[in-house]
Chain A
Amino acid sequence: MRGEIWKKVFKNYGVIIFFVILVIILSLLSNKFLNIANVLNIIRQSSIIGLVAIGSTLTIISGNFDLSVGSVAGLTGVIAISLTNRFGVVSGVIIALLVGIVVGFINGFLVTKARINSFIVTLGMMTIVRGCALLWTNGYIVAGKIESYKLIGRGMIGPIPIPIIILVVFVAIFWFFMQKTRTGRYIYAVGGNKETAYLSGISVSRYQTMCYVIGGFLAAIAGIVLTSRMNAATPNDGTGYEFDAITGTIIGGTSLAGGEGNVLKSILGVILLNVINNGFNILNVNPYIQYVFRGFIILASVAIYSVRFRKE
């Protein structure tokens, strides 16, 4: 009985427990760590990967993978900034978002209609989209020329940076979407058991495609926030974001098998990764040791869930 309770606690609050422990350790090691400026700093640093991670969480819940999101963020960032330079912010942002949606749709189509494994489809798409970014820029940096574009990534509303607000808004929307709407529950059902969902009359392909479209859309937003903050786009922007996002998602307790997970916890997972980076930077830990430590922490936090799985 007591075992049961612990299992439940770990299952529901694993990432939170880990988070609290880490914060306590870091605040004991340095008095520079726990203060409002640094907290805002860490959350802003998490906002770009956080946006990507919302999408990753949805696709993984629906039973698929999306490895193309990092490249999508790169391409859409490049598109947004070059079109903004020429035609203004509105058209730049809208077309970038459309491109994200279209790539997501193609992913969804190939996975659900052509029935190609999602890992393969998005791996291929990752390379294609990266190639498009290289073609578009010809390999050069595209620097921003429009002042107002910088606001998205650098602006503040009161004391809160705009990227944090964007993140909070989308987390709220998609948390509500997944937990409280019928469509959201269907997505869980599709990822949990495809056959059952299909037999209950749920259109598996529709909901899985929807997740890819949302993933592409959010990757595009991440790309826009990124290039706006940097006021420049390089064709290799966003490289590796898919893995950071998926790592955060897994640390947040989303099951790779699908049907299980929570947007809010994924964001906590992403923030956890940034807390680690921030803490190591503040303590000025040797960069080589950081790699080892980061790996250990990822393994340790995921181990909590694996123990849970074995018991079940």
Chain B
Amino acid sequence: MIKKILICLLVTIFIVSLGVISSGCRVVTTDEAVASQTTAAAETTKAAETTAAATVKDNNATGLKQFNIVFVIAGVDAPFCAPYMKGYQDAAKAYGQKLEIKDGKWDANVVNNLIEDAVAAKVDAIAVNPIDSVAVVPAVEEAIKAKVPIMGSWVRIGAKNELYPGTFAYVGIDEWQRGFAAGNLMLKALPDGGGIVLIEGTPGMQAVNDRRDGFLAAIKSNPKIEVLGQQATKSWGREEATKIMENFIQANGDKIKGLYAQDDNMAIGGLLALEEAGMKDVKAVGIGGSKEGIKAILDGKMYGTVYDQPYEAGVLAFTSILNYLLGVKFPDEIIIKNPLVTIENASLFPGEW
């Protein structure tokens, strides 16, 4: 008897909670959809996107052939992934295409397996957002051998900074350049030099190394800037960044004049520790241009950031695939620009994540 009551109770709870969850989900979706579509700052990419879209449309005034396209993404649960996937999805919807997004779960091996699955299923094209440029090569080679068109998305395929032979396109960014740009922001923020601290993402990730190396290369030009500490979070977490910053403050105190966090989420975490320690003059530089990051810049809490455009990147990548499949001429390498944001121009950037 008790068992039956319990089961009834459980089922009700499940249904109720599902209802709550789905209603919560719906509200967020519309908010975010509006926000990410009103992006204004992406002139260059937007222009490229419209031309690409225009060519596709001109060629097919009366409905396109439907293709089977697979997008293997590194992971889905980082804040940045949502607008990126949405770019792909919106483009696919606009052109009436079938798009399947596969979650690589932040595991290079899973990404490779997903590519192999797509190759075995003989899909029309694969876009891959690798976790590691080199680790993904064997699976990409398999796709090339099986003559399934494949392209790199956001992160390059192969160790060299060029289009991997056999892939039909690359639409993405240059992480090293982004780190370098962040370094330039720091140079501007601290013309007289001083001590800085670095908060990094997950150790061993390629993006982490590139963002660090690019940054360090840029700040070399001012020998008065001294790196006091350099620590990594386990998972790009904001709370971890707060903790690391608290510890940096314990160790270095007022010697800290600048903070470089490898993304805005961690920069915001670091800023909390600085705020609580009453160190409001420390210049913080991030990467990403998250909504909160932009707000912090406008509020005068953060010095600057390197703006990300994941939504546009997704749209552009998808249109590149379509252009390729339809035999339309298109640039096979599109490097998404990363505008620098400071208080002077922050109001132009809405932030995508």
Contacts and interface: CB of A to CB of B under 8 A. Distances in A.
B203 A239 contact: no
A135 B247 contact: no
Contacts of A274: 243
A277 B203 CA distance: 15
A99 B18 CA distance: 11
Interface residues of A, number: 48
B3 interface: yes
A166 B206 CA distance: 39
Interface in A178-219: none
B203 A281 contact: no
Interface stretch (A5-13, A136-144, A251-259, A264-272): A136-144
B218 to A, nearest CB: 21
Interface string B225-267: 0001111101101110011101110110000000000000100
Interface string B73-85: 0001111011101
A234 B29 contact: no
Interface string A276-288: 0110011110011
Interface string B27-41: 011001000000000
Interface string A78-111: 0100100000000000000001001000100100
Given A139-B82, A281-B251, A234 B21 contact: no
A277 B244 CA distance: 8
Contacts of B77: 130, 134, 139, 235-236
Contact of A139 (B22, B76, B238, B250): B76
A25 interface: no
Contacts of A234: 78-79, 238, 265
Interface string A58-95: 00000000000000000000010010000000000000
B303 interface: no
Contacts of B79: 139-141, 234
B243 A45 contact: yes
Interface in B277-333: 290-292
Chain B at the A interface: mostly helix, strand, loop or mixed? Answer: helix
Given A30-B251, A141-B291, A278-B247, A287 B203 contact: yes
B32 A140 contact: yes
B250 A37 contact: yes
Contacts of B237: 237
B246 A41 contact: yes
A227 to B, nearest CB: 9
A45 B10 CA distance: 36
A106 to B, nearest CB: 6
A135 B25 contact: yes
A115 interface: no
Given A45-B243, A277-B243, A135 B29 contact: no
Given A137-B28, A141-B79, A278 B250 contact: yes
Contact of B235 (A134, A142, A229, A236): A236
B17 A102 contact: yes
A226 interface: yes
A232 B25 contact: no
Interface in A222-238: 226, 229-230, 232, 234-237
Contacts of A308: none
Contacts of B22: 135
A230 B272 contact: yes
Contacts of A130: 77
Residue from B77, B79, B200 whose CB has the most chain A CB atoms within 10 Å: B77
A99 B242 CA distance: 27
B32 to A, nearest CB: 5
Interface in A117-160: 130, 132, 134-143, 154
Given A135-B25, A281-B244, A141 B290 contact: yes
Interface size class of B (residues with CB under 8 A): 35 or more
Interface in B193-243: 200, 203, 228-232, 234-235, 237-239, 242-243
Given A139-B76, A139-B79, A229-B242, A239 B250 contact: no
B8 interface: no
B6 interface: yes
Contact of A140 (B28, B231, B243, B244): B28
Nearest to A86: B27
B76 A230 contact: no
B353 interface: yes
Contacts of A109: 6, 10
B344 interface: no
Contact of B292 (A38, A82, A232): A232
A99 B17 contact: yes
B292 A282 contact: no
Contacts of A287: 200, 203, 230-232
B250 A230 contact: no
Nearest to B233: A287
A308 to B, nearest CB: 31
Given A235-B77, A278-B243, A284-B228, 10 more contacts: A41-B250, A79-B24, A82-B28, A132-B21, A138-B28, A140-B83, A277-B243, A284-B231, A287-B230, A291-B203
6 contacts: A138-B28, A139-B79, A139-B82, A139-B85, A141-B353, A281-B229
Interface of A: 30, 32-33, 37-38, 41, 45, 48, 79, 82, 99, 102, 106, 109, 113, 130, 132, 134-143, 154, 226, 229-230, 232, 234-237, 239-240, 274, 277-278, 281-284, 287-288, 291
Q: Across chains A and B, which 9 residue pairs bring their CB atoms closest together, nearest first? A: A139-B82, A281-B247, A287-B232, A282-B251, A236-B77, A284-B229, A141-B79, A136-B24, A38-B250
